[in-house]
Amino acid sequence: MSPSRLSLPPWDRRALLDRDVEDRDPESVQRAWAEDTARLLRVDFESRFTLDPFGIPTTGELPDDVAFLGRVGGVAWFAQRVDRIEGGATIRDFRLNDLQYQTVSAGLAVLNWHQNTRFCPRCGGQLRYTRGGFVAACVICGREHFPRTDPAIIVAVLDQSDRLFLAHQSVWAKNRVSILAGFIEAGESAENALYREVAEEAKLEIEAYRFLGSQPWPFSRSLMLGYVARSHSSGQVDRVELEWGNWYSRNDVDRGVATGALNLPGPGSIAAQVISAWRTGTLPAPED
């Protein structure tokens, strides 16, 4: 009997990071920056950061390119983009704790938005960031803009024998495989996208599915909606986005990982957690 839900730490419970939305006015942000305990998380343009130390004390005047993320246990957290972090790694590479994941994912989300949103989408005017970096106000038309998130589905498709469909994207490193994923199109529901993506990419018809949970994924601004699904189709990849793909039993995956024929996703992703749950028999069944 498989469990009815999957625990996906650190995304599936109340956040440690209090986003402190009420205190994003300039004076409160200034005061927070000057607090002795305040911390600054620095990330580079490759989304790298360090775990040791994780964040440094804030010093001097409040720079105008930092974002105020909120508070964890009363400690104010800020984020800033820097040119290069030596010896850093990305969110893909670690299984982060709640504090680390929530501050990094909030920081990258807002800093990526700053990097990619230079002008007012309505009139082309200059933008001025306010509210701790979470609002961009147009200096010409006054319209306020907010960080955007692109929802995507990611799905572990199982066959009748509980084999998992894994596929390799042509742009990936050799032997890297993962479960199927794709962006939700404008005006489309998540469920519609789920059926469409697995049909388009792998010619799989879904018979049943279950929502597992979600993960913010800051490459560059996705929200991954995780599912498990059942299909009776034989499956065939499109050979455009997916170069090859197949059904794998748990033994096939164990053997593939041991020999290096299969490289699974890094530990930080929802894909890694879902695949790991399937390998240990703790992934909920798609059927009610």
Binding site for Zn ion (CB under 5 A): 120, 122-123, 125, 138, 140-141, 143
First and final C-alpha spacing in the chain: 12
Nearer to Zn ion, 117 or 175 (CB): 117
Nearer to Zn ion, 116 or 249 (CB): 116
Nearer to Zn ion, 95 or 145 (CB): 145
Nearer to Zn ion, 10 or 125 (CB): 125
Query: How near is the Cβ of 127 to Zn ion at its closest, in Å?
Result: 8
Nearer to Zn ion, 85 or 137 (CB): 137
Query: How near is the Cβ of 117 to Zn ion at its closest, in Å?
Result: 12
Query: How near is the Cβ of 141 to Zn ion at its closest, in Å?
Result: 3
Query: How near is the Cβ of 152 to Zn ion at its closest, in Å?
Result: 29
Nearer to Zn ion, 119 or 211 (CB): 119
Query: How near is the Cβ of 252 to Zn ion at its closest, in Å?
Result: 55
d(CA 125, CA 122): 8
Query: How near is the Cβ of 125 to Zn ion at its closest, in Å?
Result: 4
Amino acid found at 254: D
